[in-house]
Amino acid sequence: MFARAETWWTIFKICVEERLVYRGDFALGTLMRFLPIVTQIFLWTAVFASAGTATIQGFTREDVVAYYLLTMLARAFSSMPGLASGLARQIREGEIKKFLIQPIDLISYLLLARTAHKVVYYLIATGPFALVFYLCRDYFHGWPPIEVFLAFVVSLLLSFLLGFYMEATMGMISFWFLEVSSLLFVHMLFIFFFSGHMFPLEFLPDFWKSVIDYTPFPYLAYFPSAVFLGKVQGAVLVKGLVIEAAWTVGFIVLCRFSMQAGYRRYSGYGG
C-alpha cells in the first residue's frame, strides 16, 4: 500500500525539519568537508614537481585539482552515509516492522528522507561551494559547452539515484545476515577507490580502467567529473550515460526485489 501525495509531502517537510534541528552541528560538519582541498592542492603540486613533467596521463596539475573539486561535488550527490548501516540496524532491531503494518513504502520513505537531507545540505553548502570554486577558478578552463554541461547535470542526478539504490540494496542484505558491518566496510572501500575519489581512473592500467568502466563505481564520482572536464566526449560520453542509467535501473529493480523477498523471510516478534 502506498500513501497519498499529501502524506509524502508531510513526510518530506518533517525530514527537512529534522535536519534543521541541529543546524549548527550540520553546518559545521559541512564546512569541515572543504578543508581537505588545501591538502590536495599541496599534495598534487608535490607529485607533479617530483615527477618532473607537466602532465600525467593527460592531466595537468590544474586538471587534477579541478577534478578533485568536481569529485567532491559529485560525491555530495551520490554519497549516502549511514543509509545501509541504518537500514541494517532497523532490520536487526525490529524497527522495520512499522513499514509492514503502515501504508508507507520503505524505499520511498528512505528516498524522500535522503532527498530532504540533500536539500538541506546544499542550502548550507552552496555558499562554501561557490566560494571555493571561485577561489580555485584558475584551475578550470572555463565552462564546458551547453550540451556537455547538460550531460554533466544528468550524470549528477543519476549518481544520486545510483548511490541511493546501491546503498539501500546493501542494507537489505540484513534480511539474510545478522551482522553486515564488515561487508559494508568492504563496500565502502570499493566505492572510495574505484569511484575515482582518490585519483583519476586514467592513472590505472588500461586493462583495469576498461574493466572498472563497466562497474557502477565510476559513475558515483569519476564520470560526472570527467564529463565536465571534457575527458569523455562523443560516443564515449553517450556510452557512459547509458551504462550509468542501466546500473541505476538495475539497482532500482534489485532493491525492490530484495525488499519484497526480505519481507517474506522476515519474522518479527514482541511489541
The C-alpha cell of 17 is what?
525539519
CA within 13 Å, CB half, 173: 17
Residue 187 domain flag: yes
Which pLDDT belongs to residue 22?
Answer: 62
Q: Buried b / exposed e across 9-33, counting CB within 10 Å, b at 16+?
A: eebbeebbeebeeeeeebbeebeee
**What is the SS3 assignment for 75?**
helix
Residues contacting 107, CB < 8 A, separation 6+: 168, 255, 256, 259
Per-block mean pLDDT, blocks of 10 residues, the chain (271 long): 65 70 61 71 81 82 89 89 89 84 86 86 77 85 92 96 96 88 89 88 90 95 94 93 97 95 77 46
**Which residues span the domain enclosing 124?**
5-265
Residue 258 domain flag: yes
Residue 66 domain flag: yes
Residue 92 domain flag: yes
CA within 13 Å, CB half, 177: 11
Residues contacting 99, CB < 8 A, separation 6+: 105, 106, 109
Give the CA distances from residue 51 to residues 42, 56, 92, 152, 264, in Å, rounded to whole numbers and listed in that order. 14, 9, 50, 31, 57
DSSP-assigned letter for residue 267: -
Which pLDDT belongs to residue 52?
Answer: 79
The C-alpha cell of 42 is what?
599541496
Residue 224 domain flag: yes
Count of the separate structural domains present in the chain: 1
Residue 150 domain flag: yes
Which pLDDT belongs to residue 34?
Answer: 67
- Find the length of the chain: 271
Residue 270 domain flag: no
Which pLDDT belongs to residue 271?
Answer: 46
Residues contacting 190, CB < 8 A, separation 6+: 217
**What is the SS3 assignment for 55?**
strand
Instruction: Give pLDDT tens digits for 122-166.
Output: 777 777 778 888 888 888 888 899 999 999 999 999 999 999 999
Which pLDDT belongs to residue 28?
Answer: 63
Residue 271 domain flag: no
